[in-house]
Structure 1
Amino acid sequence: MLRLALILGLLSAVGPFAIDMYLPALPAIAADFGVAEAAVQTTLTAYFLAFGVAQLFYGPMADAMGRRPPLFLGLAIFAVGSLGAAFAGTIGSLAAWRFLQGLGGAALMVVPRAVIRDRHTGTEATKLMAMIMLVISVSPMLAPLAGSGVIAVTGWRAIFFALLLAAVLSVALLSFGLEETLAPENRRKPSLSQMLSAARRLLSDPVFMALTFVGGFGMASFFVFIASASFVYTQQFGLTPTGFSIAFAVNAIGFFSSSQVAAPLGQRFGIGRVVRVGVSGFAITTILLAAIALSGAATFPVIVAGLLIANAFLGVVIPTTMVLALDDHGDIAGLASSLGGTLQMLAGGLMITLTGPFFDGTATPMLLAIALCGVIAASLCWAVLRPRPAVSEA
Structure 2
Amino acid sequence: MKPELIKMALMLGLLSCVGPFAIDMYLPAMPAMAEDYGVPTAMSQYTLVSFFVAFGVCQLFYGPAADMFGRKPPLYFGLVVFLLASVGCALAPTIEWLIALRFVQGMGAASVMSIPRAIIRDRYTGTEATRLMTTVMLVISISPMLAPLVGSLLMAPFGWPSVFYAVALATVASLLLIRFALPETLPVQQRVPVKITTMFDAFRVLFRDAYFMGMTLIGGMGMASFFSFLSIAAFLYTEYYGLSPTQFSLAFALNALGFFVASQFAANLCERFGGVAVVKWAVTGFTVSAAANLALNLAGVDDFAILVGLLLLGNSFLGLVVPTTMVLSLDDHGPIAGTAAALGGTLQMMLGAAAIGIVSAVFDGTPLILVAAIASCGVVASLLFAVTLRQSAQPVVS
Task: Report how far residue 159 of structure 1 moved.
Answer: 0.5
What value does the CA root-mean-square deviation take over the aligned residues? 1.1
Q: CA separation in 2, counterparts of 1:336 and 1:167?
A: 25
The answer to whether structure 1 residue 25 and structure 2 residue 29 are counterparts is: yes
Among residues 86, 100, 110, which one is paired with 2:104 in the alignment? 100
Among residues 366, 379, 384, which one is paired with 1:362 in the alignment? 366
Instruction: Confirm or deny: 8 A CA contact 2:210 2:392 kept in the other structure.
Output: no
Among residues 83, 90, 96, which one is paired with 2:87 in the alignment? 83
The answer to whether structure 1 residue 54 and structure 2 residue 54 are counterparts is: no
The answer to whether structure 1 residue 179 and structure 2 residue 221 are counterparts is: no
The answer to whether structure 1 residue 141 and structure 2 residue 139 are counterparts is: no
Deviates more, 1:245-254 or 1:29-38: 29-38
The answer to whether structure 1 residue 230 and structure 2 residue 238 are counterparts is: no
**Can you list the C-alpha shifts for 1:41-91, whole angstroms capped at 9, x where unaligned?**
100000100000010000011001100001111110000110110011111
Task: Report how far residue 190 of structure 1 moved.
Answer: 2.0
SS at the partner of 2:394? helix
**Can you list the C-alpha shifts for 1:29-50, whole angstroms capped at 9, x where unaligned?**
1111111111111000001000
Task: Report how far residue 355 of structure 1 moved.
Answer: 2.5
**Can you list the C-alpha shifts for 1:12-38, whole angstroms capped at 9, x where unaligned?**
001000000000001101111111111
Instruction: Confirm or deny: 8 A CA contact 1:215 1:317 kept in the other structure.
Output: yes
SS at the partner of 1:346? helix
- Within-5 A mapping of 1:156-305: 156-305=160-309
Task: Report how far residue 390 of structure 1 moved.
Answer: 2.2
Which amino acid letter does the alignment assign opposite residue 241 of structure 1?
Answer: P
**Can you list the C-alpha shifts for 1:319-378, whole angstroms capped at 9, x where unaligned?**
000011000010100100001100000011111112322101211111111111111111
Among residues 379, 383, 389, which one is paired with 2:387 in the alignment? 383
The answer to whether structure 1 residue 347 and structure 2 residue 360 are counterparts is: no
Change (3 A) 1:54 1:392: farther
Instruction: Confirm or deny: 8 A CA contact 2:68 2:193 kept in the other structure.
Output: yes
SS at the partner of 1:180? coil
Instruction: Confirm or deny: 8 A CA contact 2:231 2:359 kept in the other structure.
Output: no
Partner of 1:320: 324
Moved over 6 A (4+): none
Structure 2: runs of 5 or more not aligned? none
Q: CA separation in 2, counterparts of 1:272 and 1:110?
A: 22
Q: CA separation in 1, counterparts of 2:69 and 2:361?
A: 42
The answer to whether structure 1 residue 74 and structure 2 residue 106 are counterparts is: no
Instruction: Confirm or deny: 8 A CA contact 1:24 1:144 kept in the other structure.
Output: yes
Identity %: 53
SS at the partner of 1:158? helix
Task: Report how far residue 387 of structure 1 moved.
Answer: 5.4
Q: CA separation in 1, counterparts of 2:365 and 2:396?
A: 40
Task: Report how far residue 388 of structure 1 moved.
Answer: 2.8
Q: What TM-score, normalized by structure 1, do the two folds share?
A: 0.98
Q: CA separation in 2, counterparts of 1:296 and 1:89?
A: 43
Q: CA separation in 2, counterparts of 1:92 and 1:376?
A: 34
**Can you list the C-alpha shifts for 1:172-229, whole angstroms capped at 9, x where unaligned?**
1111110100011100012122211111110011111110100001001110000000
The answer to whether structure 1 residue 308 and structure 2 residue 316 are counterparts is: no
Which amino acid letter does the alignment assign opposite residue 265 of structure 1?
Answer: L
Q: What TM-score, normalized by structure 2, do the two folds share?
A: 0.97
Q: CA separation in 2, counterparts of 1:50 and 1:37?
A: 21
Which amino acid letter does the alignment assign opposite residue 366 of structure 2?
Answer: T
The answer to whether structure 1 residue 35 and structure 2 residue 39 are counterparts is: yes
